[in-house]
Amino acid sequence: MLVVEDDLQVRRLVERVLTKAGYEVLLARDGQEAMTLAGDPDAIVDLVVSDVVMPRVERTELAEHLKKTRPGKPILFISGHTFDLPIQHLLADDPDAFLPKPFTPTELMVRARLLLDRSAGVGSETHLTH
């Protein structure tokens, strides 16, 4: 998994939760670092957990890059800014791909597992957001 978060505390929390659940986690502090990691063909990236507003990239640049370099891999967007999100068009097909901050470790794991299962073709009819 690739975690992209500029806030150190949030980045560490997400890393701890995912690592405890048994996932291998790559960390990026900003969009440029995330694009470099995602572009590495040896990096295992089954899911991307990314803050919406990231330094060093334009609004949707990271998401668009990830969709090209990691097609079919789910992206879970996290943000404390729930109004006027620059990624609304990216969430149109999957509103479950957004988790508002603050969130609990359980909420993070449920959402991550849902997106991973869906990308693997398991539970494709399950939705958390209505």
CA-to-CA distance for 5 and 77, rounded, in angstroms? Answer: 10
* Portion of the chain with pLDDT greater than 90, in percent: 59
Q: Which CATH number fits domain 1-61+101-121: 3.40.50.2300, 3.30.70.260, 3.60.21.10, 3.30.390.30?
A: 3.40.50.2300
Question: 92-118 pLDDT, tens per residue?
Answer: 667 788 899 999 999 999 999 999 999
Q: For the whole model, what pTM was predicted?
A: 0.87
Do 45 and 70 meet the contact criterion of CB atoms below 8 Å apart?
yes
Tell me: cis bond preceding 102? Omega within 30 of 0 counts: yes
